[in-house]
Chain A
Amino acid sequence: MHLTAEVREVEKLTARVKLYVLELKERLGSWPGQFVMVWLPGSGEIPISVARERGREIWLVIARVGRVTGAIHEEVGEGARLWIRGPYGRGFSTSPGRHLLVGGGFGVAPLLRLADELRALDGPVEVWAALGFKSADDALLLEEFKEVVDRVTVSTDDGTLGEKGLVTDVVELDWPNVVHASGPEPMLRALAFSCLQRGVRLEISLERRMRCGLGLCGSCEVESTGMRVCRDGPVFDARLLASAEFARRSLEVWA
């Protein structure tokens, strides 16, 4: 059954993206990288990553791309309700060391949850974030990242904010013990290529059309790998996908 959540706050982060701060009756207990299924009655149900969890409060960063996200943007204001189930999936690994978080667009959301968790770890942890956006107007959550990570670098495709270029062209891959990435798939592919070449551990968060969210229906399989985004992911070790169709397609892109 779904949990009923009260919408405490709605903030417009960019023209397309809103932050929803929800309050639950009890703690959700999510792991960084996990997602919830969000149901808006009368409209539909979609997977959304948990961007932050504090006590009974969770943050969801929702980009308007279609029917259900559009309805949420239009209809759900402060004081309204959303219904959620979860948390689901396997998230990012967290252990002391040097972590580089690479995010693209609204894909940065689950990395904030990860940054929070890494910050709270015992032991020596250093966290850098490299966040890429199309343009200055698309940048989001920068202040939040700056509060919890040791260094934030921003890049934009058009150079209107931070360095000009793709985030994958500006990242420093010699420094980290592990790279965690979330964002558009071409970005993830390019990063996978660079990391696998250098032997750097990379965890990537993938998205596919999701239906049951429970690992049964097969809708969110990553093509021909037998891996389900909802249950085996959404976070995968990039090596796991290197042998599969995913990598084959990626190589075609690079060729």
Chain B
Amino acid sequence: MRTEGGVGAETRPSERSAGGWALEVELAGLRLANPTVLASGVLGTSASLLARAASSGAGAVTTKTLTLHPRRGNPNPVVVELDTGLLNSMGLPNPGLEPFLPEIRAYRSSGLRSPLIGSIWALNSEEASTMASMIQEAGANAVELNVSCPNASKDELDTIGSEQLVRELVEAVRRSVSVPVFVKLPPLHWGLTKLAGAAVDAGADVLVATNALRGMAIDVRARRPILSGITGGLSGRALKPVALRAVYELYGEFGDEIQVVGVGGVQDWRDAVEYLLAGASAVEIGTALIYRGLSVFRRVASGIEGYLREEGFHSVEEIVGAARRG
């Protein structure tokens, strides 16, 4: 099912750069000035930070994942920097959906054109449905259902990994909103295509692949795990080949019905182009902000544009999934 833009979606004429290479992409009816998106959980904690990411060039921005009730998250240490990426065990800290809604309204009235994707975490259809309608009402241009937070409790993870529940949650969200529904998937799940299939059958418009991998680090001098949550989500460089494979598989399986967004370890245009070639219509960026700062969005976007020009393409769409067509 493909929905039209929905509440406040951007509909403006296609913007082409001087040379005629269009960076603009369409994602489930939303228009993104370029295919870079701020990943959930990174700078998405307030209207002002979302606005800062958008004005730094993000084609769309995603809020921190919100829960119905406030969550404190885990105590420090909540991150470990590795050579190959980053471990985080934030534990979904957020003020709860309702107190966050003014931030969404404030972002939407800021005049910035990058669509806002509202990320939610819910463990039953009733909650999912309430949250999705509230977030749409506040002005979110899309709802992203996170069914893959690596820092949820073991019970939550056991629950959310089930196809049946994913189907119910997506159906509930689909029934409650007219804006596009994104579903954010885990990187490793033996039944990934089945899980994704359940989401697609239930009416998802976009599959986001992927969330962080579960991992851990131990300090050899302290002789104990560093993260207070013991395990955390591994993002950045190390995640890229895993998430890339997920995008490739999901595009192969569902590319005719829905769109895919690639997430994991995007630092430069080459990473982004790999995801596009694997079948992603856009890429999300999180961890790279540590190394590249907020300019990462503009730099990746202009790098993609340079690639299109060098290779003789005129739009991003032309290369989406090209690695499958060979």
Residues in A lying within 8 Å of B, measured CB to CB: 1-2, 4, 37, 39, 41-42, 44-46, 68, 81, 83, 85, 210-219, 221, 224-226, 228
Report Cα–Cα, A228/B289, bound state, in Å. Answer: 13
**Do A212 and B289 contact each other (CB < 8 Å), given the known contacts A44-B228, A221-B46?**
no
**Do A224 and B43 contact each other (CB < 8 Å), given the known contacts A44-B76, A83-B222?**
no
User: Which B residues lie within 8 Å of A39 (CB)?
Assistant: 76-77, 226
How far, in Å, is A34 (CB) from chain B's closest CB?
A: 16
CB–CB A1/B81 < 8 A:
yes
23 residue pairs A–B, Cβ–Cβ below 8 Å: A37-B76, A39-B76, A41-B219, A44-B76, A81-B221, A83-B222, A85-B81, A211-B73, A212-B78, A212-B88, A212-B90, A215-B289, A215-B290, A216-B88, A216-B290, A217-B41, A217-B42, A217-B93, A218-B46, A218-B64, A221-B49, A224-B48, A226-B52
Report Cα–Cα, A218/B79, bound state, in Å. Answer: 13
Report Cα–Cα, A118/B316, bound state, in Å. Answer: 52
Report Cα–Cα, A224/B110, bound state, in Å. Answer: 13
User: Which residues of B269-290 are within 8 A (CB) of A?
Assistant: 286-287, 289-290
CB–CB A216/B287 < 8 A:
yes
How far, in Å, is A85 (CB) from chain B's closest CB?
A: 7
CB–CB A46/B45 < 8 A:
no
Report Cα–Cα, A4/B224, bound state, in Å. Answer: 14
- Total interface residues on B, using CB and 8 Å? 37
Q: Which residue of A lies closest to B217 (CB)?
A: A1
Report Cα–Cα, A214/B222, bound state, in Å. Answer: 22
CB–CB A216/B78 < 8 A:
no
CB–CB A214/B45 < 8 A:
no
Q: Which residue of B lies closest to A213 (CB)?
A: B79
How far, in Å, is A168 (CB) from chain B's closest CB?
A: 28
B82 an interface residue at 8 Å Cβ cutoff?
A: yes
B258 an interface residue at 8 Å Cβ cutoff?
A: no
CB–CB B51/A226 < 8 A:
yes
User: Which B residues lie within 8 Å of A83 (CB)?
Assistant: 219, 221-222
B134 an interface residue at 8 Å Cβ cutoff?
A: no
How far, in Å, is B291 (CB) from chain A's closest CB?
A: 10
Q: Which residue of B lies closest to A47 (CB)?
A: B76
Report Cα–Cα, A39/B219, bound state, in Å. Answer: 11
User: Which B residues lie within 8 Å of A213 (CB)?
Assistant: 79
User: Which B residues lie within 8 Å of A1 (CB)?
Assistant: 80-82, 217, 219, 226
CB–CB A42/B49 < 8 A:
no
Using an 8 Å CB-CB cutoff, how does the interface string of B47-85 with A read, 1 for contact, 0 for none?
A: 111011000000000001000000001011111111000
Q: Which residue of A lies closest to B52 (CB)?
A: A226
CB–CB A2/B226 < 8 A:
yes
Given contacts A213-B79, A225-B48, 6 further A-B contacts (CB under 8 A): A1-B226, A2-B226, A37-B77, A39-B77, A216-B79, A228-B49
B180 an interface residue at 8 Å Cβ cutoff?
A: no
CB–CB B48/A216 < 8 A:
no
User: Which B residues lie within 8 Å of A219 (CB)?
Assistant: 45, 93
User: Which A residues lie within 8 Å of B45 (CB)?
Assistant: 217-219, 221
For the complex of A and B, the 6 pairs showing the least CB-CB separation, nearest first, are: A218-B45, A45-B76, A226-B48, A226-B52, A41-B222, A45-B77
B44 an interface residue at 8 Å Cβ cutoff?
A: yes
User: Which A residues lie within 8 Å of B49 (CB)?
Assistant: 218, 221, 226, 228
User: Which A residues lie within 8 Å of B48 (CB)?
Assistant: 221, 224-226
CB–CB B221/A214 < 8 A:
no
Report Cα–Cα, A221/B228, bound state, in Å. Answer: 22
Report Cα–Cα, A221/B49, bound state, in Å. Answer: 8
User: Which B residues lie within 8 Å of A217 (CB)?
Assistant: 41-42, 45, 78-79, 88, 90, 93
How far, in Å, is B149 (CB) from chain A's closest CB?
A: 14
CB–CB B219/A2 < 8 A:
yes
